[in-house]
Structure 1
């Protein structure tokens, strides 16, 4: 998979977003680019920060205030920034969706849900009690799961799209999914779940997107024989 071959949202700018002097001795990963993330990266002795939501996510903006401070800190501490958004959601080995599926106990899953020319999510056929699935999910994300149990008491077609895919519930249901797991959703999605007769499980935007950056950092650290750390900075969403 090549980053340039995956269409993404305009502000994703996948790949190396900021280069350093060229030396990487330790890798850090985080879900989001932020001042705290940069500070933790430097504090832990890392000089490459891998993120899912990069430095240009808010859009084109002047290099003032927070962005100026962030860039100044990165240059002073010789930090490189690498971002991967949709490619890290859909990757078949280190992607958020496949890894969340595996963490839930579904080793066999297949891609589904086309977004920008790629199959973004994962689905699995199963026969698992909804109550059991919720318990597993709460354990995996280490937190509460907002549940809208509007479908069957047993999940048989489980769909996972990490992040903020709740607004796609109608498209997901049209693909035969009866239990949909994502991070967050707009208000109207709760009503849509009821009307569609589908179970909707919201496990948190942040919590569902920690898997990929961890796996990618671990993969690169092993390949290049350097250490790595995950920087946990939950947003509460």
Structure 2
């Protein structure tokens, strides 16, 4: 299909033009390809050199990522930065990034999909606004801390670090994927007794203990694979394309 048609669909579906984000996110099409066509979608968390090389080797001509080419801010186009652009353009690889618009999306967003993967009998609702756009979800539940720990480890297929600063029986849980550990005070003020996120600074653990809130740190990468996978699968089915997840975990 036409690259322009695919990106127009994504722009509208994710409300790219109207939703806020950090400036380096630069959501939307970040690099077009030379053919102007898409035959195979790659989905990945990060648009860095090893991922781009894997996508190229897999025959992708469109890469959907969560953290785009400019995540580290403005840089000279030399060294690895130059190599990323050169190899992508030579291989006809277009790159599209969706950060917060994908985190908070209520169908294919990271937060809602991780929450649903916990298989709780809960009604999830949007919460935690960033400039009036909710990037997380919350629910009232009744589950033991140990059981939630087990379910989260299973959903993420890995180890989960726990700050057991809150109650053993969880009543109000919030999910904000990625690096929301630094928001423990703001989350506590919203009535949450347990936060599920990817990572946080060292002080987030000690502050959570003082505030009396549980924090599950599941890994920034691990908590943010859900959205790009689901969205790429939806695009592939909708437009009759192939897709592949380009897995390159950071362990963080």
TM-score (norm. length: structure 1): 0.98
Specify the alignment match of 1:117 in structure 2: 132
What SS does the corresponding residue of 2:236 show, helix, strand or coil? Answer: helix
Match 1:36 to one of 19, 26, 50: 50
* Alignment match of 1:138 (pick from 153, 165, 168): 153
Distance in 1, Cα, partners of 2:241 & 2:192: 41
In terms of mean alpha carbon deviation, does 112-121 or 162-171 score higher? 112-121
Secondary structure in structure 2 of the residue aligned to 1:55: coil
**Residue 58 in 1 paired to residue 72 in 2?**
yes
- State the alpha-carbon separation in 2 of the partners of residues 42 and 56 from structure 1: 19
**Alignment match, 1:220:** 235
Once the two structures are TM-superposed, the CA of residue 170 in structure 1 deviates from its matched residue by: 0.1
> What is the aligned partner in structure 2 of residue 80 from structure 1?
94
Say if 2:226 is the partner of 1:211: yes
1:17 maps to 30
1:138-157 matches, cutoff 5 A: 138-157=153-172
Q: Which runs of 5+ in 2 are unaligned?
A: 1-13
Shift of 1:199: 0.6
Q: Shift of the alpha carbon at 1:117?
A: 2.1
The Cα shift of 1:94 comes to: 0.2
Give the corresponding residue for 1:235: 250
Instruction: Return the offset for 1:190.
Output: 1.0
Q: Which runs of 5 or more residues in structure 1 are unaligned? A: none
2:142 is matched with: 127
Partner SS state of residue 102, structure 2: helix
In the other structure, the counterpart of 1:3 is 16
Counterparts of 2:173 and 2:15, CA distance in 1: 28
Partner of 1:68: 82
Q: For the aligned residues, what is the CA RMSD?
A: 0.9
Name the SS of the counterpart of 1:5 in structure 2: coil
Distance 2:67 2:238 in 1: 24
Displacement of 1:47: 0.6
In structure 1, what is the Cα distance between the partners aligned to 2:46 and 2:113? 19
SS in 2 for 1:93: coil
Aligned length: 237
SS in 2 for 1:31: strand
Shift of 1:114: 1.1
Note if 1:95 corresponds to 2:109. Answer: yes
Structure 1 ranges of 4+ moved more than 3 A = none
Match in the other structure for 2:63: 49
Measured in 1, the distance between the counterparts of 2:151 and 2:114 equals: 11
Q: Distance in 2 between matches of 1:227 and 1:154?
A: 44
Counterpart secondary structure, 1:8: coil
Summarize deviations over 1:150-207 as a string: whole Å, max 9, x none: 1111111010000000110000000000011000011111111111111111000000
Displacement of 1:108 = 2.1
In the aligned structure 2, how far is the partner of 1:93 from the partner of 1:4?
18
